[in-house]
Structure 1
Amino acid sequence: MIAKDLRINPLRTSLTALSMFIGIIALIAGVLVGTLGRDYLEAVNARLGGKSPTYSAIVDVPSSVNIQVVTALQERLAHFRPGIASAQYHLNDLAIWASSGDGNTEIRRVTIIIIDAERTRIMPAPIIEGTWLTGADEPATLETAVNESARQYVHDGTVALARTGNPQQVPARVNGVIADGTDTPTIYVNATTLQRYWPQAWEPDGLTILVHPNEGVDDQHAKTVLDDLLFDVGTGSISSWNRSDNADDYEQVIGFLQLGVTVTAILLLSVSAIGMINIGLAGIEQRSHELLIRRALGATRVSIAIQVIGSSVLLGLIIAFAAVLISAVLVWAIPWMMPADSPLEPPAYPYTAAMIAACASIVTSLVGSLAPAIKAIRLQPALALR
């Protein structure tokens, strides 16, 4: 009887289903948008300042550091147990040969960062084309990667590196193009290959090591382990240790975003419940004669209440299943719509939000059908005889 009750008035059932469907989809979408918004802020800031938390260790490194030391440091940092660590060397006189406006080539200063392959694990940058730098496992040639703005300096898969005031051009292979979140032309040079294949340019005047500790690891413990590592490989010691990510700039924004999503979800469910109550009360007005006849024939108030509430709950279950299924398909399709340079990872389906939405659908059905059920059981059977 409960199932048949849904077919008595198709229009009423359709309006109720539509109201519930919109409420559930809006709840899942609100949570997903909030999650994507938080992830986007975190990803954008991670590209520029590192994953939260990221610490910068400034190391005074002598220019006489040789390839054995660089390779040993790179290998040790690749297996840094307290977290992820990446070395960035400071070389101030590197530049590139690039075309000038009159068609000639000249030395041009652009941002050149001398790093290892671990950097993108701390400051993630989506690969737009090609690959990232290789590790310290004997790369075949001097290699680089460029961002989108520096793509203009790539010719035949290479860039021409130079030193300020020196006409010598050294070709360097470009492994790939990355989206690092900056508009400044930037070229990333593999530190190991630079020291091995162009030792004349290897005159570092400093070293910065970026450290992203594992969850639950104290930053002072990570600093101590790093200091011991530097001492073992003979690279000096830490002179400065500071947090360098931009978490303080966006954590408050994320808090407001999550609060706004929560309030919006509650309001959407409230609107859905109110819509169900209105539709349910209108349905009782239309079906009052039918319900009165049932009461006159001996139906109890409990059976009347079960019929009214049961039909709403059954409809809620059906709509919840349909909404969760459709939302899962939409979330599955999101990665196909994301651009290649998006800082976001493909989002995972918000199972928790879906479970909350399904439960909210049942609760909304109960709340929305409670008032109509009370009105139905208060109908007097004697009115059916009039």
Structure 2
Amino acid sequence: MIRMIVKDLRINPLRTGLTALSMFIGIVALIAGVLVGTLGRDYLEAVNARLSGRTPTYSAIIDVTSVAGMQTTMTLQERLAHFEPGSASAQYHLNDLAIWASSGDGGLEIRHVAVTVTDAERTRVMPAPIIEGAWLTAADKPATLETVVNENARQYVHDGTITLARTGNPQQVPARVNGVIVDGADEPVIYVNAAALQRYWPQAWTPDGLTILVHPDAGVDDRHAKTALDDLLADVGAGSVSSWNRSDNADEYEQVIDFLQLGVIVTAMLLLAVSAIGMINIGLAGIEQRSHELLIRRALGATRASIAAQVIGSSVLLSLIIALAAVLISASLVWMVPWMMPADSPLEPPAYPYTAAMIAAGASVATSLIGSLAPAIKAIRLQPALALR
């Protein structure tokens, strides 16, 4: 029977090719739909994480009591680096910190660009791909006065440094630029190492406030994270939490993600339905063309079961071959995606959707089985007496 089924596939190459193409499109479309939906979700989450923190991120505004002290700041940053309920990063507000940059007439002037005084833990809460150099040095490691800039702030970098200044103060201090990141911000942003700033330019260390960003680990309740932060601040003597709010803006894109996933599912179902309809049409047309051959087999003693097995078996075998080919080709394409992604892409290289591939392969076999039932029923209803006409 297997030999007959294989031979059956070779009788009409055009019919077999059209059926194979229909199956291939359905399988690849389902895999691609799931992959696109997954990438769309990952993209929205990655962009949001750059701008407002990983999901979930909480913003804790601190009532500052003694954060101006060097020892307090160093201890606080070291403790935040080992924050057990999750990841935590401090952001100090120094309103008078600015930079010296070229003016329109060729001279130098103070520019009030966004200057964020933070620590090495920030990228664990708000990830930002590093496209050049490295991120800020950890507080417990030696470092010179250092900064990191985003792409829009490259214009202020000269000879690998940026000149920091204070509003209304003629003093200028060069700071080394560690690297360049993609943080998703549309305006220039300069990130300054808080520990290094306090150590090497203490005159500029006049914080007006402190915000701590907290990203709890999976399964950690936000109330537990807040309690842990309160205990940490009390131990360090750096004030207390006066405001605790979620700041990652996840609610704004969750509806978009749900709609995207629903659209992907509906599209995949429609593609499979179109594939099944195409197979039924091709199968019925094939029975019309092969009716004389099937009638002769019936007249020579072939049973209705063998005729049905021949018709259904050829479709199922073809679907298995096409499913394997579609999975291999789609896996090769997914493997090539990381090589085509730009360095500043917010997405991680996508993993191959094995579950979707198995579902697509199973759906292909089920579709071929369903799609071959109508042709098989038509074939077994042929009357052997017609072969004598």
TM tier relative to shorter chain = over 0.9
Counterpart residue number, 1:59: 62
Secondary structure, aligned partner of 1:200: helix
Structure 1 residue 67: deviation in Å? 2.4
Q: Which sits farther off after the overlay, 59-68 or 175-184? A: 59-68
| Cα separation, 1, equivalents of 2:298 and 2:71 | 93
Q: Does 1:319 align with 2:325?
A: no
SS in 2 for 1:348: coil
Which of 165, 168, 175 is matched with 1:165 structurally? 168
Q: CA deviation at 1:298?
A: 1.1
Q: How is 1:237-386 mapped onto 2 (pairs within 5 angstroms)?
A: 237-386=240-389
Is the partner of 1:107 in helix, strand or coil? Answer: strand
The alpha carbon displacement at 1:63 in A equals: 5.8
Structure 1 contact 48–181 (Cα < 8 Å) conserved: yes
Q: Read off the aligned partner of 2:239 and give its amino acid letter.
A: G
C-alpha separation between the residues in 2 aligned to 1:141 and 1:197?
7
Residue matched to 2:47 = 44
In the TM superposition, residue 79 of structure 1 has moved relative to its aligned partner by 1.4
CA contact (8 A) 2:132 2:181 kept: yes
Q: Which residue of 2 aligns with 1:209?
A: 212
1:28-43 matches, cutoff 5 A = 28-43=31-46
Whole-angstrom distance in 1 between the partners of 2:382 and 2:67: 95
User: Could you tell me how far apart the structure 2 residues matched to 1:77 and 1:138 are?
Assistant: 15
| In 2: Cα distance, 1:64 partner to 1:120 partner | 22
Q: What are the ranges of 5 or more consecutive residues in structure 2 without an aligned counterpart?
A: none
How far residue 189 of structure 1 moved from its aligned partner, in angstroms, is: 0.5
Q: Residues of 1 paired with 2:217 and 2:65: CA distance?
A: 30
Instruction: Provide the C-alpha distance between the structure 1 equivalents of 2:279 and 2:12, rounded to a whole number of angstroms.
Output: 15
* Equivalent residues of 1:269, 1:364 under 8 A apart: yes
Tell me the secondary structure at the aligned position of residue 209 of structure 1. strand
Superposition RMSD on alpha carbons, in Å? 1.0
TM-score relative to the length of structure 2? 0.98
Aligned to 1:18: 21
Partner of 2:232: 229
Deviations 1:332-364 (A, max 9, x none): 111111111111111111111111111111011
Identical counterparts, % of pairs: 83
Contact 1:117 1:133 in 2 (8 A): yes
- Contact between 1:63 and 1:203, CA under 8 Å: does it hold in 2? no
Deviation (angstroms), 1:66: 2.3
How far apart, in 2, do the equivalents of 1:195 and 1:111 lie? Answer: 19
Could you state the TM-score of these two structures normalised by the residue count of structure 1?
0.98
Partner residue, 2:7? 4
- For residue 81 of structure 1, report the CA deviation from its aligned partner: 1.2
For residue 124 of structure 1, give the secondary structure of its aligned residue in structure 2.
coil
Deviation at 1:107, TM superposition (A): 0.9
Distance of 2:54 and 2:177 partners within structure 1: 26
Paired residue secondary structure (1:184): coil
**One-letter amino acid matched to 1:201:** A
Amino acid at match of 2:334: V
- CA deviation profile, 1:306-325 (whole Å, cap 9, x unmatched): 11111101100010011011
Q: Partners of 1:74 and 1:4 in 2: how far apart?
A: 73
